[in-house]
């Protein structure tokens, strides 16, 4: 309502300065469409944003990664690997709904892939899958993929130096 009042007075001021007569408020067109969260987001976005079955902390993962973004959101990724394939991915986040959607998407895109195939997942893949991630939240995709890459690197390190895994700090 406040927006309508402001637009009305702006219209009156602009028209009076230019010598035009002002139109009634009912004739002022509202070019701004209100965003409807449930209707304007894709089904992929909604599913990933509100899916919480992958949100858990594993005690002894095969790979672990954590990233904190400039916005303050943090994502932790936990990998379970079996026979060179990603069996499952779980995560924990203290971020916004967009960060949750991006972390879930990374998990969805990576499960069943080989380690080498998983390295090909990019923030652009996450953004494309979600379809309606707001541009101002593209950094959430970068954050989730960064934590995932860190978990992949941690897994690779454990494969190279397997003696380190039993001494890994408890998560």
Q: Per residue in 96-111, pLDDT tens? A: 999 999 999 999 999 9
**pLDDT for 98:** 97
Quick one: what percent of the chain has pLDDT higher than 70?
Answer: 75
Question: How far is CA 27 from each of CA 1, 7, 11, 12, 165, rounded to the nearest angstrom?
Answer: 15, 12, 11, 12, 70
Residues 7, 56: one domain? no
Same domain as 71, residue 148: yes
Tens-place pLDDT, residues 65-96: 999 999 999 999 999 999 999 999 999 999 99
Phi and psi for 61 in degrees, rounded to 5?
Answer: -75, 160
Residues 81 and 26 in one domain: no
Q: What is the pLDDT of residue 167?
A: 56
**Per-residue pLDDT, 35:** 84
Same domain, 83 and 104: yes
| 38 assigned to some structural domain | no
SS3 percent helix, strand, coil of the chain, rounded to 5, is 55, 15, 30
Q: How is residue 123 written in tokens?
A: 């923030």
Structure tokens at 150: 């860190």
Distance CA 5, CA 7 (A): 5
Domain that holds residue 141: 43-167
Residues 93 and 154 occupy one common structural domain:
yes
Question: Please, which pLDDT band fits residue 161 given cuts at 50, 70 and 90?
Answer: confident
Instruction: Give the pLDDT of residue 8.
Output: 42
79, 152 contact by CB (below 8 A): yes
Q: Domain holding 149: CATH number? A: 3.90.1010.10
Separation of alpha carbons 159 and 44, rounded Å? 34
Q: Is pLDDT above 60 for 125?
A: yes
Structural domains counted in the chain: 2
| 14 and 86 share one domain | no
93 plus 9 within the same structural domain: no
Tokens of 103: 């972390």
Q: Is residue 91 part of a domain?
A: yes
**Mind listing the pLDDT tens digit for each residue in 19-30?**
555 445 455 455
Q: What count of Cα atoms within 13 Å lies in the side-chain half-sphere of residue 158? A: 19
Q: Is residue 37 part of a domain?
A: no
Q: What pLDDT sits at residue 32?
A: 64
By C-alpha distance, which of 115, 107, 102 is closest to 153? 115
The model's pTM is: 0.76
Residues 53 and 20 in one domain: no
17 and 93: one domain? no
**Is residue 78 domain-shared with residue 103, that is, in the same domain?**
yes
> Same domain, yes or no, for 18 and 59?
no
Give the integer Cα–Cα distance in Å for 45 and 57.
23
76 within a domain of the structure (yes/no) = yes
pLDDT band at 171 (very low <50, low <70, confident <90, very high): low
Same domain, 18 and 61: no
What's the pLDDT score for residue 153? 97
């Amino acid at each position: 309502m406040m927006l309508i009042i402001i637009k009305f007075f702006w219209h009156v001021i602009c028209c009076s300065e230019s010598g035009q007569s002002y139109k009634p408020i009912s004739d002022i067109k509202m070019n701004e469409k209100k965003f409807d969260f449930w209707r304007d987001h894709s089904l992929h976005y909604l599913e990933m944003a509100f899916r919480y079955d992958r949100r858990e902390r594993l005690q002894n993962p095969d790979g672990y990664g954590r990233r904190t973004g400039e916005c303050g959101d943090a994502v932790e990724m936990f990998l379970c690997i079996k026979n060179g394939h990603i069996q499952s991915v779980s995560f924990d986040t203290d971020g916004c709904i967009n960060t949750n959607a991006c972390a879930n998407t990374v998990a969805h895109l990576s499960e069943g892939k080989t380690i080498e195939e998983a390295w090909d997942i990019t923030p652009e893949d996450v953004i494309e899958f979600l379809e309606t991630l707001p541009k101002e939240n593209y950094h959430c995709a970068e954050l989730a993929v960064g934590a995932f890459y860190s978990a992949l690197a941690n897994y690779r390190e454990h494969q190279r130096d397997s003696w380190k895994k039993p001494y890994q700090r408890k998560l």
